Amino acid sequence: MAADTSTLHKTHFRRVVTHTDFDGAVCAALCSHAEGIDVFQFTGPGSILNMGLGIGPEDIVCDLPHHPAAGLWFDHHVGNLEDYRLKGGSINDIQGSFSEEKSCARVVYNYYKDLVEFPLFMEETVNQADVIDSFDYQGLDDWRTKTPSRIVSDSMKALFDTRRERDTYYRHLVRKLRSLPLDLVAADEEVKKRFGQYEQEEVRTIELMKKIATFSPDDQAGEIVILDTTELKHNPHLIKSLAFLLYPTAKAVLEIRRLFVRDRKTTTLGFSMSLGPAMEVSSRGKDIGDIMRSLNIGDGHRGAGAGKKDCRSKEEMIKQKVYLMSEIVRRWKAQ
Ligand SMILES: [Mn+2]
């Protein structure tokens, strides 16, 4: 990056730790430009506190739960602010900024925009982060309009062979987002390749979801889409966010699968559940990690959780599946 007046001087920040999505990548691009940082780490909300990321005062944490050691924190998730307060934090002590915006990119942009000069295209990039992160779509047709920001965002959801391959791609993307308008980022060869892979998975996911999605009889409002893949020969890779387009009443999605050991099906059930993108930002009372913990099957955070249950036979497995499904719905409604 050119050393010019658009970068804050005397910065001591060295790394951006950010969320694994479009909003997270735009946050990293903004911080990178403002602070002259070129080191990026990607992680999910559940991992920020316990993954040995070695977070310290030289780190800027974006779009993720608060970390007490971080130098700066930027976020817009109401639940994360609640957690921060429960741990004794005060909003006046936040180094960085918290605000209930549609995207964290907006929070970062507002913080820096009077301090540094951003390229003109950055405003539109942040506008698009708002649309994407608040899931502002009017149904499947609107969703299917592949705008440049959608192409970039979807390219991040392609299935990567390894974490390392994913992170290499994400870093490439942040450097593009920092220096180019979205239409040129979307035209990048690497972005086009990943987007192509994503599109194939999207078609497969929609077909499969239409076949297997159900709701619990106790869930009259249709808040939890249940994707039971236990009868399938293989565990599919499902792009879960598509459930919120196919079923607009849904606030969360619950996937139930059978675990495999060396290509052989076991009688262990796996559960994974996540809030819809709009719910993840705005929900106050819901906590999926708490549901998994209270059932003693697993763990997680507010927005997503996972669990498993070992069963001795197929009969027991079917019983447990029905029981845990209804308990998850009951605990969800009680929150
Ligand atoms: Mn976000």
Q: What integer pLDDT is reported at residue 1 of this predicted model?
A: 45
335 CA to middle of ligand 1, Å? Answer: 23
Phi then psi for 41, rounded to 5 degrees? -120, 135
What's the mean pLDDT in 163-191? Answer: 98
pLDDT per position as a tens digit, 223-242? 999 999 999 988 888 888 89
- Name which residue leads in pLDDT, 331 or 138: 331
- What confidence tier does 61 reach under pLDDT thresholds 50, 70, 90? very high
Q: What integer pLDDT is reported at residue 134 of this predicted model?
A: 87
178 CA to middle of ligand 1, Å? Answer: 18
Exposed, middle or buried: residue 234 (CB in 10 Å: 0-12, 13-18, 19+)?
exposed
Pairing status of strand 59-62 against strand 15-19: parallel
- What confidence tier does 10 reach under pLDDT thresholds 50, 70, 90? low
Q: What integer pLDDT is reported at residue 136 of this predicted model?
A: 81
- What confidence tier does 8 reach under pLDDT thresholds 50, 70, 90? low
310 CA to middle of ligand 1, Å? Answer: 35
Q: What integer pLDDT is reported at residue 188 of this predicted model?
A: 98
Q: What integer pLDDT is reported at residue 2 of this predicted model?
A: 44
Q: Give me the percent of the chain exceeding a pLDDT of 90.
A: 77
- Name which residue leads in pLDDT, 191 or 12: 191
24 CA to middle of ligand 1, Å? Answer: 6
Q: Is the predicted pLDDT of residue 78 greater than 60, yes or no? A: yes
312 CA to middle of ligand 1, Å? Answer: 41
What's the mean pLDDT in 236-260? Answer: 91
> Domains of the chain, with CATH numbers?
5-191 (no CATH), 215-334 (3.10.310)
152 CA to middle of ligand 1, Å? Answer: 15
112 CA to middle of ligand 1, Å? Answer: 17
105-110: list long-range contacts, CB under 8 Å, 24+ apart: 105/23, 105/26, 105/27, 105/30, 105/129, 105/130, 105/133, 106/76, 106/130, 107/74, 107/75, 107/76, 108/27, 108/30, 108/31, 108/62, 108/74, 109/30
- What confidence tier does 9 reach under pLDDT thresholds 50, 70, 90? low
64 CA to middle of ligand 1, Å? Answer: 8
167 CA to middle of ligand 1, Å? Answer: 18
Q: Which of 21-30, 43-52, 87-96 has the highest average model confidence (pLDDT)?
A: 21-30
pLDDT per position as a tens digit, 155-167? 999 999 999 999 9
Gap between the Cα atoms of 186 and 168, Å rounded: 17
Map residue 252 onto helix, strand or coil: strand
Q: What integer pLDDT is reported at residue 5 of this predicted model?
A: 47
193 CA to middle of ligand 1, Å? Answer: 25
Q: Is the predicted pLDDT of residue 6 greater than 70, yes or no? A: no
133 CA to middle of ligand 1, Å? Answer: 6
63 CA to middle of ligand 1, Å? Answer: 5
62 CA to middle of ligand 1, Å? Answer: 8
206 CA to middle of ligand 1, Å? Answer: 24
136 CA to middle of ligand 1, Å? Answer: 13
Contacts of 102 (CB under 8 A, 6+ apart): 76, 129, 130, 131, 133, 134, 136, 281
Q: Is the predicted pLDDT of residue 31 greater than 90, yes or no? A: yes
* 28 HSE (CA, 13 A, CB side): 28
100 CA to middle of ligand 1, Å? Answer: 10
Q: Is the predicted pLDDT of residue 11 greater than 80, yes or no? A: no
Average pLDDT over the chain, rounded to whole? 92
What's the mean pLDDT in 27-53? Answer: 89
What's the mean pLDDT in 262-290? Answer: 88
132 CA to middle of ligand 1, Å? Answer: 9
Q: Is the predicted pLDDT of residue 64 greater than 50, yes or no? A: yes
23 CA to middle of ligand 1, Å? Answer: 5
